[in-house]
Copies of this chain bind each other. A is one copy, B any other.
Amino acid sequence: MSFDTSSWLAQARALIGPAHVLSADNGDDLTPYTRDWRGKFQGPALAVLRPGSTAEVQALVRLAARTGVALVPQGGNTGLCGASVPMAGGLQAVLQLGRLKRIREIDPENNTATVEAGCILQTLQEQAGAVGRLFPLSLGAEGSCQIGGNIATNAGGVQVLRYGNMRELVLGLEVVLPDGEILDLLRGLRKDNTGYDLKQLFIGAEGTLGIITAATVKLFSAPSAEVVAFAGVASIAQAVRLLGAMRGHLGDRFTAFELISGPAVALVRRYFPETPALLSGDWPWYVLMEAADGGSDETLREAVQAALMACLEDECLEDVTLAGNLAQGQTLWSLRENITHAQQMDGSNIKHDVSLPISRIPAFVEQMLPRLQQAFPGARPIVYGHLGDGNLHFNLSAPEGVEAGTWQAQTEAVNQVLHDVVVAMRGSISAEHGIGQLKRHEMAMYKTPAELALMRRIKQALDPQGLMNPGKVL
């Protein structure tokens, strides 16, 4: 029996209104929804469905289940692994959640917000800020990524050291299950031991177990003081010592600890020549640190200064500068943020997003750099990342003069050299970016058979028809 597309589209239009069903036969351009922003993944879709309520999501999920059409849930489509666009073939529709964007409630006394999946991360940050609260998730795409996608991918970012990943920020979820049942777990509770913690299933599952439609998330007291410092260190081992020492001095006022390699700083300087020289000398590694607290900037700056002086004395760092004000702090952060842009301007690079126990990172980098140099002569490692979380973006830029296409063809070979060592040291081949389509084949290589079997059993239990974001993760 052949599939009757126009009848299916008519049914979808009847459920959520014709204006909210985009399709090729209507002359709509689906590309913004069917291709990821890096242009690495693109797949066919019967339609792009834009429901306006949880009930409409439910109706669409039921239609999909009845007709055997797979659904690809999509937020801001800002992911790096192709999880939010259709796979190469098959009967699929994109379920775009951007119209479910209400902030249903902000409860400052309970320090929670209840927000729909399509709410832009930055909107939530701003609305929380308006009542003196902080929603701490912060990442490059915050102006366009959506909360539902942040949850489905368990997003990380630059404040994980202090506030945890998205998983730690979620107290409750509303989910439409693959059979169309609505699971209402929207509780704003810090403690609830009544049976299995079902929301955990959907966080980080990349939409393969159900459609997240809303969430209750934690808010925090907005800090009134922030201090940024930039240090030069002689080795990663010294950076790890610095991390431990600063954490000892500052406890949870310590909110970010970003490692940046000397070559990464040089690359930023090359493409952003306005970047000031921050320290008097050059160092093989640098660390960007941030602390935040209630109280005044001066009190915090004094505490950070005392901690840094102690670290200098204890030989946990070689040289350091403390931003004197907000603008100087932003200059330091923009150095960190411009690494990605500088790499793009510099040409082709192969990206990695690995994590390791922090104690093993010095040994990892020490053995990785010569090993990569030997296997790929001339390749230029640009290493940086959230050292405080054990998370490195270990990117490899093409050797000078090598064409992008030639270099990208080496991706699998580069990945294998790097990921073999990561996994042997009990690390992760995807710390914060997820699996999606990009790393799906690596799951079979690097996860144990027992883990894979259990994941499949969970998938089978929740989505026996296999209609939730097929071709992703598993």
Contacts and interface: CB of A to CB of B under 8 A. Distances in A.
A454 B244 contact: no
B188 A426 contact: yes
A293 interface: yes
A426 to B, nearest CB: 6
Given A183-B454, A198-B451, A391 B359 contact: no
Contacts of A439: 194
Interface in A204-253: 204-205, 209, 221, 223, 240, 244, 247-253
Interface in A159-203: 160, 164-165, 167-168, 177, 181-198, 200-201, 203
A185 B435 CA distance: 18
Contact of A200 (B182, B200, B223): B200
Q: Give the copy number.
A: 2
Nearest to A462: B457
A447 interface: yes
A220 to B, nearest CB: 8
Given A251-B253, A451-B183, A197 B191 contact: no
Contacts of A167: 197
Contacts of A462: 454, 457
A434 B460 CA distance: 28
A357 B189 contact: yes
Interface in A394-434: 426-434
B458 A460 contact: no
A107 interface: yes
Interface stretch (A2-10, A61-69, A108-116, A338-346): A108-116
Contact of A455 (B196, B355, B389): B196
A438 to B, nearest CB: 12
A365 interface: no
A390 interface: yes
A239 B431 CA distance: 40
8 contacts: A107-B359, A110-B359, A153-B193, A187-B428, A189-B356, A192-B430, A221-B248, A295-B303
